[in-house]
């Protein structure tokens, strides 16, 4: 006769079951991304109306302004900026490239890494012209030099485009970073869009924290109230629908001290059917 499991055994079984369910969900998310279309994604999210750089309430100018302020504050400095889950986009490092001498970009998908390399190598064939973004950030920074000079600097300081998996305890290859880690992390719309649930999102935050030096900063941008987005024609990718309190709690649980949280509410005319996002958050945090 087999006795019923004791309390500790039952709790252990629950933990095993939860871990198994999370791993199954992560595998399902990875499978979802196998047909991700960088060109379509860029068209959906980085052209007007969402990327109307002449409109103050457009989402992209808001993001660029948040990043500009954060990267030009006196407490942010160092040698290496690491972009976590770059996707096929460059906007998130346009201000940071003026502060750090080295920028390392990363993504889980080879198609996104190829998109970035085409721009970095100035090889042509890019899916989006980043000129308006370069021009806009030059204006924010009050730079005297031209956007072409900024593009030249960005290409020079991007030292590599590497694979990453935020769901692994060690997200990058052991020799990808200096032993001490990066001086600063930036990550935009990555963790919530590759995690099956809030627990996986929080765990991923803990994983990327390991890539950061003690007292280093994290600049985190993500979606609020979003349950899906289109990663290509007919490709509906699930997203963890976060709220502000959950973002703050996850950062704290993962070993970050929140410095500032800003929120953008999406105007109705920018809800164009490529997702169901209601807002965007920007968090500046520091590794404890």
Nearest to 264 by CA among 91, 60, 70, 46: 60
Q: What is the per-residue pLDDT for 12?
A: 62
Coil, strand or helix: which one is 229? strand
The secondary structure of 64-125 as a DSSP string is: HHHHHHHHTSTT---SEEEEES-TT--GGGTTGGGT-SEEEEEES-HHHHHHHHHHHTT-S-
Q: Is 2 a member of any domain?
A: no
What is the tens place of the pLDDT at every residue in 89-122? 999 999 999 999 999 999 999 999 999 999 999 9
CATH, residue 155:
3.40.50.150
Binding site listing for S-adenosyl-L-methionine: 41, 46, 85-86, 91, 107, 112, 165-166
Residues in the chain: 288
What is the tens place of the pLDDT at every residue in 181-192? 999 999 999 999
Q: Is 74 a member of any domain?
A: yes
Domain encompassing residue 77 = 7-287
Q: What is the per-residue pLDDT for 284?
A: 98
Q: What is the per-residue pLDDT for 37?
A: 98
CA distances from 56 to 89, 180, 247, 282 (A): 21, 40, 25, 17
Binding site listing: 41, 46, 85-86, 91, 107, 112, 165-166
Residues of the chain with pLDDT under 50: 1-2
Domain count of the fold of the chain: 1
* Angle CA 176–130–279, to nearest 5: 85
């Amino acid at each position: 006769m087999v006795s019923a499991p004791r309390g500790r055994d039952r709790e252990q079984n629950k933990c095993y079951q939860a871990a198994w369910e999370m791993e199954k969900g992560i595998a399902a998310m990875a499978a979802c991304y196998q047909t991700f279309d960088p060109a379509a994604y860029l068209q959906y999210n980085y052209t007007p109306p969402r990327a109307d750089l002449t409109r103050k309430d457009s989402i992209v100018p808001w993001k660029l302004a948040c990043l500009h302020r954060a990267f030009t504050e006196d407490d942010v400095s160092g040698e290496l900026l690491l972009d976590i889950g770059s996707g096929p986009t460059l906007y998130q490092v346009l201000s940071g490239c003026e502060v750090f001498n080295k920028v390392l970009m990363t993504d889980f998908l080879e198609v996104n890494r190829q998109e970035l390399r085409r721009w970095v190598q100035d090889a042509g064939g890019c899916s989006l012209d980043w000129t308006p973004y370069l021009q806009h950030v030059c204006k924010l920074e009050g730079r005297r030099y031209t956007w072409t000079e900024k593009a030249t600097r960005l290409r020079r300081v991007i030292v590599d485009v590497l694979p990453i998996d935020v769901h692994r305890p060690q997200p990058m290859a052991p020799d990808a970073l200096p032993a001490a880690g990066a001086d600063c992390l930036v990550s935009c719309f990555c963790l919530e869009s590759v995690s099956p649930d809030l627990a996986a999102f929080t765990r991923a935050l803990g994983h990327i924290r390991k890539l950061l030096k003690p007292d280093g900063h994290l600049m985190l941008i993500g979606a609020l109230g979003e349950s899906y987005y289109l990663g290509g024609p007919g490709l509906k990718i699930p997203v963890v629908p976060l709220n502000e309190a959950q973002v703050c709690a996850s950062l704290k649980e993962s070993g970050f001290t929140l410095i500032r949280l800003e929120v953008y509410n999406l105007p109705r005319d920018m809800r164009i059917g490529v997702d169901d996002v209601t807002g965007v958050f920007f968090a500046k945090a520091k590794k404890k």
